[in-house]
């Protein structure tokens, strides 16, 4: 279906056809110049391009746009993709001003996922072929502001789904452990099972999974989705997720030597080192469609409890003290999630295999955070 694109035709000249307004039709690429939701050629976004950008990218390189790029995952994924495809072919975007080091790494643009017109300009003007949609409010923050989470996580999703259809993009939307609920199998949770999440974050992710699969089967959208476990990274601050204690505990261990955990000590959840998360995403995006039996896959690496990760840290920092003060909202969320993922389909279909276990994760996190604190002139406990 490479010669096919998707457009939205609004038929308004005949009263008898008004009911068809907004129907999405699949047409041959010779019609791709027709207007969709109106057209503007104004390049409103602020582009930052390397001065040595070539006029044409290599024919085998995708042109990638990452939304929500200043969150936990975007910068690292962009860095890995730029090493493979060239920095001019990977565009990071967000609604916040990037730090100087991120701005200088490669192309960065302003992009609000609720502004469809601006997004379309970015896709068309920059010849995007892959779209990675990271914009979302996470679980705990989403419960504190359901209306905003619904707007960003669902309305923003529909904007990128429409853009992917209209421009024949390969679209990646991450899902999450939060897409499961208390009625889901917990140990392990398979790819296909009852989900029924009880957070707006989880509901929005199930909605994304189902919409993407529907549009794939009905219109041929190249939709791809991975259910991420808790992601542990030294490079970004915790962002309001239920699994964020597994990042904060390393910062606390090296700064004060004391961590107060908002989950019970025996709360087991699936976790993954961020480099494994990025590598899984890239390998999945690169996999030929013929290898994919699903459009949404679980990926797994390890599962641990707060006490287990604390014990592993104590092998390096024996003085670490952890106290437990469970937060009702986050503990309830965690208790509804799986304790392990079954990722056998990802391993079989496209060769997924993690590189980090718990000991490797702890060693890397402590070394990375110690280096960051030392470089910043901060004390290390």
User: CB of 294 within 8 A of CB of 349?
Assistant: yes
Using left for φ > 0, alpha for ψ between -120 and 50, and beta otherwise, residue 308 falls in alpha
Q: Which residues, listed in sequence order, are joined to residue 27 by a DSSP beta bridge?
A: 5
Q: What does the longest C-alpha to C-alpha distance in the chain come to?
A: 76
Q: Which residues, listed in sequence order, are joined to residue 92 by a DSSP beta bridge?
A: 66, 108
d(CA 47, CA 125): 11
Tell me the two tokens of residue 272.
């993954």
Q: Is the dihedral of CA 65, 67, 68, 71 positive or negative?
A: negative
d(CA 43, CA 106): 19
Q: Which residue has the tokens 């604390």?
A: 310
Radius of gyration of the chain (CA): 22
Reply yes or no on whether 201 is catalytic.
Answer: yes
The string of DSSP letters for 123-160 reads HHHTT--EEEE-----HHHHHH-HHHHHIIIIIHHHHH
Helices vs strands, H then E, count in the chain: 13, 15
- 33: number of Cβ within 10 Å: 10
Q: State the angle between helix axes of 274-286 and 74-85 in degrees (0 to 180), rounded to the nearest 10.
A: 50
Strand-pair category, 4-8 with 321-324 = unpaired
d(CA 279, CA 239): 21
Which among 129, 117, 126 has a CA at the least distance from the CA of 36?
117
Contacts of 317 (CB under 8 A, 6+ apart): 253, 254, 257, 366, 381
Q: Which of 85, 116, 134, 201 is catalytic?
A: 201
- 246: number of Cβ within 10 Å: 24
Which residues does the annotation mark as catalytic? 201
């Amino acid at each position: 279906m490479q010669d096919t694109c998707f457009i939205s035709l609004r038929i308004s000249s005949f009263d008898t056809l008004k009911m068809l307004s907004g129907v999405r039709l699949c047409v041959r690429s010779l019609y791709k110049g027709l207007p969709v939701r109106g057209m503007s050629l104004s390049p409103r976004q602020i582009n930052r391009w390397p001065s040595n950008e070539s006029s044409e990218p290599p024919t085998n390189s995708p042109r990638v746009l990452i939304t929500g790029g200043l969150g936990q995952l975007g910068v690292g994924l962009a860095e890995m993709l730029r090493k493979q495809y060239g920095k001019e072919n990977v565009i990071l975007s967000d609604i916040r001003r990037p730090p100087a080091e991120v701005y200088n790494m490669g192309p960065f643009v302003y992009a609000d996922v609720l502004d469809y017109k601006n997004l379309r300009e970015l896709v068309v003007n920059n010849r995007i072929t892959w779209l990675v949609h990271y914009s979302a409010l996470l679980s705990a923050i989403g419960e504190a502001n359901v209306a905003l989470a619904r707007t960003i996580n669902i309305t923003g999703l529909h904007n990128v789904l429409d853009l992917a259809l209209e421009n024949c993009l390969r679209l990646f939307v991450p899902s999450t452990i939060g897409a499961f609920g208390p009625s889901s199998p917990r140990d392990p949770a398979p790819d296909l099972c009852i989900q029924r999440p009880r957070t707006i974050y989880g509901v929005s992710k199930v909605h994304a999974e189902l919409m993407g699969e529907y549009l794939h089967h009905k219109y041929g959208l190249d939709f791809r989705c991975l259910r991420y476990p808790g992601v542990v990274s030294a490079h970004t601050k915790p962002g309001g997720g239920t699994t964020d204690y597994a990042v904060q505990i390393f910062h606390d261990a090296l700064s004060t030597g004391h961590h107060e955990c908002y989950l019970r000590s025996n709360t087991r959840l699936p976790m993954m080192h961020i480099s494994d998360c990025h590598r899984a995403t890239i390998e999945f995006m690169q996999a030929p469609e013929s290898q994919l039996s699903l459009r949404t896959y679980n990926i797994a690496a390890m599962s641990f409890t707060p006490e287990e990760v604390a014990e592993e840290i104590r092998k390096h920092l024996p003085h670490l003290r952890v106290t437990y003060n469970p937060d009702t909202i986050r503990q309830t969320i965690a208790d509804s999630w799986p304790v392990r993922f079954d990722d056998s389909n990802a391993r079989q279909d496209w060769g997924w295999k993690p590189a980090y276990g718990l000991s490797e994760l702890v060693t890397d996190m402590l070394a990375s955070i110690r280096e960051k604190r030392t470089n910043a002139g901060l004390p290390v406990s």
